[in-house]
Structure formats: structure tokens, C-alpha cells
């Protein structure tokens, strides 16, 4: 067993960021490490239930992720580059100085060996900009698709798959110039100003490549679900997904009364996750309507945090082939699923792939545009290339995936790769290696 280390995990106070990192904390603790977790006050109970020591962010760096639109009405309706720039300027850049101060205090008071952060906790990137001999190692935790510039990939955020050869490289270079030197040029200047205001040099790279200044990246996927890049070197370790049937304790929740109806049926599972559920008209309702007349298919819908009565209200009456619940135990559901229809959450997609389940995806916000692109590129499913799916498009995509065995074959190939990956437990070895490595001057 490796020596016990003290690891400080740092996350912005957003549920979709904190929850997967709580799984990281549990794994490190099982490996014998001490884990401190720096994030927003509302997540204290979640962090303590994972066994980590909770450190609250200062009030100036904390916010309520469920009130973002209320607190920032100017972001409502913004999409694409405008929405991304607004969020960076108003939500993620202002706390950098306070985040960095909180990191410094925690590192000094608790004798921290390694800092581990998700991409948008930029105070850790500011910390990593200090000379290596004056700080502890920093590892970036890849809970979203890998954002790393390379001549063979298009800039992150566009959802554009690689195009091999000189033509692809020329395309990527042109897109990178437009994105970094034109569309986001003023935002990049704001990023560098925020870093300098915190007392460190500017970021030194494009904002979405912030993980490149960390000492290592722990990417929670497998190579077959990530674009190949010749320039990665050994800084990036692909550990496999965080939440898998073998790594998460079996659900103790009672099964729905209709569970036995799944027996002998072709099952299509549809979900919009637990966050992007403001309007079920995006994907859940279109999927139910698309397959309502298919007596040979059972549609199993999960509404996340929202009452299932909202679906009844929207539809008027529920189709005979629909089964619905707020939450479903994925460890028991996924082995029964033939196709998953999803908006592209990174964790849920990987849970399906672990079981060799092919996908239909409709997601164009946050990181989902990149997850969706990888689903199509890797051959594991159909990307509808939209945020709001239509009934005909969903029906055609589901029928395509059910009829063409290549999608399930590709998903099973990735499932075999996931089965060989260490998952979150592999981070303990990376922590040991970072501590043992000499500081780079």
C-alpha cells in the first residue's frame, strides 16, 4: 500500500462538478489518503458523507448554483460563445483571487501534498502558475471531455470531430485562430487580467487549455472515447469513468412496482439528467411521443429532480408503453437497456457505455456538445446535433441504432476497455507519482 498523502480537492460550487469529485474523494480515502474538499457551503453534508474533511469557500467565492439565472438575469437566453463568455466573466473569473487565498491557507494549515481541481476552479490554475519549487503538485481532474489543443483536433466547444490529414490540420488551425484570436480574444484578456490581479502571471495559454499548466491530468474516460492527440505525452492518464457498476455501491432504493414489465422487452431509456430538466420538451417528451405506438418497445423515462406528474400534465395521458420514475437504479437498469436516449451528460453516458449500451444524444450546451460529438465519432450512437429534438428525428435515430448492430458492437468494445481501466482508484497511483517526482524548475 502506498504512503498516506493529504490531497486537497477544489471544486466550484456547482452540483455537476462537486458530485463526481465526491466519488474521487471516496476512492482516495479507500486508498488510505487524507482528503480535504474545498467547495461551497451547501455541499458540506455531501462532502462529509463521502468521508472527506469539508473546507467551505469564503463567501466571496461561493454562490448558489440553483440561483444562477436569478442572480445573473443577463445570462438568460444567451447561448454559444455569448453564453460561455458571460458565464466566465460573471461567475468563474471573479472568485479567482479568493479561491487562491483559500488554497494557500488550506495548504499551509493542513500540510497538503497534492492539489486536485476541476477545470473551472481557476484559482488552482492560478496556483499552478507559480514556480514549481514554490508549490505542491497540481492535478487536473477530467470530469468533462478532454480540452487540450493539438494540431489534430478542432478547438474545444465546437463539437467538431477530427478530420485526418493535412486538410484536417489546416481546418483546425483556421478554427483555432478564429476562436482564440477573434471570438474569445477579449475574454482571454479578461482571464489574464484576473490572474495578474491575483498576483500570478497571466494564464499563459488559452482559457479552455487551463489543464495544460497542471502537472498532470487524470482523465476519467478511456482512450477509445477521446480524440487521439500526438502531443499529450505522459501528462494525461486515462483512468476510465468514475461511476461504474463495480465502483458504486448497489442502490438500496426500492424498485418501481412496474419493474417486472421490462422482462422480455426491447427497452429504450430516456433521460435529461438531473440538472437540465427545466423543459422536458427538449428530449424526454419528444422521445415518449416518438415511440408511443411501438408496442414492441418499452420506454423507461427518468425525470431526475422533477415530479413525474409534469410529464403526465404535458402529455395529457401516458402511452401504454411508458414506464416513468424520478430516479432509477442504473446498476440494475442498464443491463436491461437496448438504447439510451440522453442529452449527453458525461457520467451517464459512461455508465451506459460500461454496459455496452448504444446511444442517441441531443445535447448542445456546456460540455454536452463535445460529449455528443464523441458519441458519433466513436461509433457508439447517433448525434442529433440539436438541443431540442423533434419527434421524427428521435424515432429515426432510435430505429437506426436498434437495426444496425455496429452501434452496439462499438459500445461493447468501449465497455471492454472500461472493464480494464482502474477508474477513480487509479488516481492514488498518480498522486504517489506526483509527490515522488522532482520539482521542475
Asked if 65 and 180 sit in the same domain, the reply is yes
Asked if 205 and 115 sit in the same domain, the reply is yes
Cα separation, 54 vs 345, whole angstroms: 26
Cα separation, 255 vs 259, whole angstroms: 6
Alpha helices in 88-245 (DSSP H): 96-110, 122-128, 165-178, 185-197
Question: Per-residue pLDDT averaged across 366-374, rounded?
Answer: 92
Packing angle of the helix pair 368-377, 346-354 (nearest 10 deg): 30
Inter-residue contact 303 to 325 (CB < 8 Å) = yes
Quick check: is 133 in a domain?
yes
Grid coordinates representing 193 are: 487580467
Asked if 188 and 287 sit in the same domain, the reply is no
Give percent above pLDDT 90 in the chain: 77
Quick check: is 373 in a domain?
yes
Q: How many domains does the chain have?
A: 2
Asked if 228 and 304 sit in the same domain, the reply is no
pLDDT tens profile 237-278: 999 998 776 666 666 678 999 999 999 999 999 998 766 556
Asked if 214 and 165 sit in the same domain, the reply is yes
Quick check: is 95 in a domain?
yes
365, pLDDT greater than 90: no
Question: Which of 29-33, 75-79, 177-181, 431-435 bottoms out in mean pLDDT, i.e. has the lowest?
Answer: 75-79
Looking at residue 188, which CATH number applies to its domain? 3.40.50.2000
196, pLDDT greater than 70: yes
Quick check: is 10 in a domain?
yes
Nearest CA among 264, 343, 338 for reference residue 303: 343
pLDDT tens profile 91-133: 999 999 999 999 999 999 999 999 999 999 999 999 999 999 9
Asked if 222 and 288 sit in the same domain, the reply is no
373, pLDDT greater than 80: yes
Cα separation, 283 vs 393, whole angstroms: 11
pLDDT of residue 441: 39
Nearest CA among 43, 35, 424, 31 for reference residue 243: 424
Place of cell 499548466: 213
Grid coordinates representing 205 are: 495559454
Asked if 120 and 223 sit in the same domain, the reply is yes
Quick check: is 201 in a domain?
yes
Quick check: is 441 in a domain?
no
pLDDT of residue 250: 67
Q: What is the CA radius of gyration of the chain?
A: 22
Cα separation, 242 vs 422, whole angstroms: 9
> Across all residues in the chain, what is the average pLDDT?
92
Asked if 414 and 427 sit in the same domain, the reply is no
Q: Which helix (H) or strand (E) holds 181?
A: none
Asked if 185 and 221 sit in the same domain, the reply is yes
Asked if 316 and 228 sit in the same domain, the reply is no
Quick check: is 248 in a domain?
no
Quick check: is 273 in a domain?
yes
Question: Per-residue pLDDT averaged across 81-85, rounded?
Answer: 87
pLDDT tens profile 409-431: 999 999 999 999 998 889 999 99
pLDDT of residue 226: 96
Asked if 57 and 21 sit in the same domain, the reply is yes
Question: Per-residue pLDDT averaged across 3-20, rounded?
Answer: 94
Query: 144 lies in which domain range?
Result: 6-240+421-436
Inter-residue contact 153 to 176 (CB < 8 Å) = no
- Phi first, then psi: what are they for 35, rounded to 5°? -125, 125
Question: Which of 24-38, 78-92, 209-223, 377-391 bottoms out in mean pLDDT, i.e. has the lowest?
Answer: 78-92
Asked if 273 and 200 sit in the same domain, the reply is no
Question: Per-residue pLDDT averaged across 198-213, rounded?
Answer: 92
pLDDT of residue 231: 87
pLDDT of residue 277: 52
Cα separation, 166 vs 27, whole angstroms: 43
* Between 102 and 316, the higher pLDDT residue: 102
Amino acid at each position: 500500500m502506498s504512503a498516506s498523502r493529504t490531497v486537497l480537492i477544489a471544486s466550484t460550487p456547482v452540483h455537476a462538478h462537486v458530485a463526481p469529485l465526491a466519488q474521487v474523494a471516496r476512492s482516495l480515502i479507500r486508498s488510505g489518503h487524507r482528503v480535504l474538499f474545498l467547495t461551497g457551503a451547501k455541499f458540506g453534508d455531501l462532502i462529509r458523507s463521502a468521508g472527506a474533511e469539508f473546507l467551505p469557500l469564503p463567501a466571496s467565492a461561493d454562490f448558489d448554483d440553483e440561483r444562477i439565472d436569478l442572480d445573473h438575469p443577463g445570462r438568460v437566453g444567451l447561448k454559444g460563445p455569448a453564453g460561455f463568455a458571460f458565464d466566465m466573466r460573471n461567475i468563474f473569473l471573479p472568485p479567482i483571487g479568493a479561491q487562491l487565498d483559500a488554497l494557500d491557507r488550506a495548504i499551509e494549515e493542513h500540510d497538503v501534498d497534492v492539489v486536485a481541481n476541476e477545470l473551472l476552479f481557476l484559482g488552482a490554475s492560478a496556483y499552478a502558475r507559480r514556480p514549481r519549487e514554490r508549490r505542491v503538485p497540481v492535478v487536473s481532474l477530467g470530469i468533462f471531455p478532454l480540452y487540450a489543443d493539438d494540431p489534430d483536433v478542432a478547438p474545444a466547444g465546437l463539437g467538431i470531430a477530427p478530420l485526418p490529414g493535412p486538410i484536417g490540420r489546416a481546418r483546425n488551425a483556421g478554427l483555432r485562430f478564429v476562436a482564440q484570436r477573434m471570438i474569445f480574444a477579449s475574454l482571454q484578456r479578461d482571464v489574464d487580467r484576473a490572474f495578474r490581479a491575483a498576483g500570478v502571471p497571466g494564464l499563459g495559454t488559452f482559457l479552455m487549455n487551463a489543464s495544460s499548466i497542471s502537472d498532470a491530468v487524470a482523465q476519467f474516460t478511456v482512450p477509445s472515447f477521446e480524440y487521439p492527440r500526438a502531443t499529450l505525452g505522459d501528462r494525461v492518464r486515462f483512468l476510465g469513468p468514475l461511476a461504474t457498476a463495480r465502483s458504486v455501491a448497489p442502490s438500496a432504493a426500492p424498485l418501481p412496482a412496474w419493474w417486472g414489465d421490462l422482462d422480455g422487452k426491447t427497452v429504450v431509456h430516456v433521460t435529461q439528467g438531473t440538472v437540465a430538466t427545466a423543459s422536458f420538451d427538449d428530449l424526454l417528451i419528444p422521445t415518449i411521443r416518438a415511440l408511443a405506438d411501438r408496442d414492441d418497445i418499452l420506454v423507461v423515462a427518468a425525470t431526475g429532480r422533477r415530479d413525474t406528474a409534469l410529464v403526465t400534465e404535458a402529455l395529457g395521458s401516458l402511452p401504454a408503453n411508458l414506464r416513468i420514475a424520478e430516479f432509477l437504479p442504473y446498476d440494475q437498469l442498464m443491463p436491461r437497456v437496448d438504447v439510451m436516449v440522453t442529452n449527453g451528460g458525461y457520467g451517464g453516458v459512461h455508465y451506459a457505455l460500461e454496459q455496452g449500451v448504444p446511444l442517441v444524444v441531443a445535447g448542445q450546451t456546456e460540455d454536452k456538445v463535445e460529449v455528443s460529438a464523441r458519441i458519433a465519432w466513436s461509433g457508439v450512437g447517433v448525434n442529433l446535433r440539436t438541443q431540442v429534438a423533434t419527434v421524427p428525428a428521435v424515432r429515426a435515430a432510435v430505429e437506426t441504432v436498434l437495426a444496425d448492430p455496429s452501434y452496439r458492437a462499438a459500445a461493447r468494445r468501449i465497455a471492454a476497455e472500461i472493464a480494464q481501466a482502474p477508474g477513480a482508484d487509479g488516481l492514488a497511483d498518480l498522486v504517489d507519482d506526483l509527490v515522488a517526482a522532482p520539482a521542475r524548475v
